[in-house]
Amino acid sequence: MSEYEGKVRMVFKDLPLPIHALARPAHEAARCAGAQGRYWDYHARLFAEQPRFEREDLVRYAVDLGIDRDRFVACLDGRHFAAAVQADVEQARALGITSTPTFLINGRVLIGAHPVENFRIVIGDALRRLQGP
Amino acid sequence: MNVRWSSGPGRVYYILLMLLALLPDARARGQVTLTAHRAMVRGPEGAPVTIVQFSDYQ
């Protein structure tokens, strides 16, 4: 959606689902990668490799990206970002969000994986609303 | 809907979100404050549209 370049900011919020036993460590691992400046690369790797999220997998993904292994492992095993991930979970709960993915586009909700065209409609509407009458 | 960004301490941005849309539970709660870590945000700070994605990796 290059037509929206400069007009859209994207924020990712962690919502590991309880039915996915290995999900929470994966979310924490992504933040550990982010602590070394590689969040989005690691994020993409996790989606590509799902559901292979055993500890050795998570470490391997970091090493493959050139992330400092010792720092990453200390972060992951020390659960440095456990509270931050839990904060996202609680914020989702406060909003009544239980499904993934759920998108809030200037407050409007899209639940589930929608075609790109649906996003264009909602984003376009949001931009028009901001322009006013 | 009002979205307010403010810079919190360190690297965390706080998003104040007045949700008036399709989440019936949230409407009863009124304002909800969301936090965002800078590493997990893409796009320009002054962008008029913010997409917040709650997601799992599976």
Q: Which residues of B touch A11 (CB under 8 A)?
A: 15, 34, 36, 40-42, 50-53
Calpha distance A71→A60 (Å, rounded):
13
pLDDT at site B1: 34
pLDDT at site B10: 35
**Is there a contact between A104 and B51 if contact means CB atoms under 8 Å apart?**
yes
C-alpha dihedral, A58 to A61 to A63 to A66, nearest 10°: -130
pLDDT at site B30: 62
pLDDT at site B14: 55
First to last CA, chain A: 25
Higher pLDDT, A38 or B13: A38
ipTM of the complex model: 0.93
Higher pLDDT, A80 or B18: A80
Facing B56 at nearest CB: one of A7, A17, A127: A17
Mean pLDDT of A64-70: 98
- Minimal-distance CA residue of chain B relative to A34: B39
Percent of chain A with pLDDT over 70: 100
Task: Provide the whole-model pTM.
Answer: 0.84
Residues 10-39 of chain B with CB under 8 A from chain A are 15, 17-26, 29, 32-37, 39
Residue B44: cis peptide before it, omega within 30 degrees of 0: no
Strand partners, B33: B16
- Mapped onto helix, strand or coil, the DSSP state of residue A90 is helix
Per the listing, tokens 């407050």 go with A107
**Is there a contact between A13 and B18 if contact means CB atoms under 8 Å apart?**
no
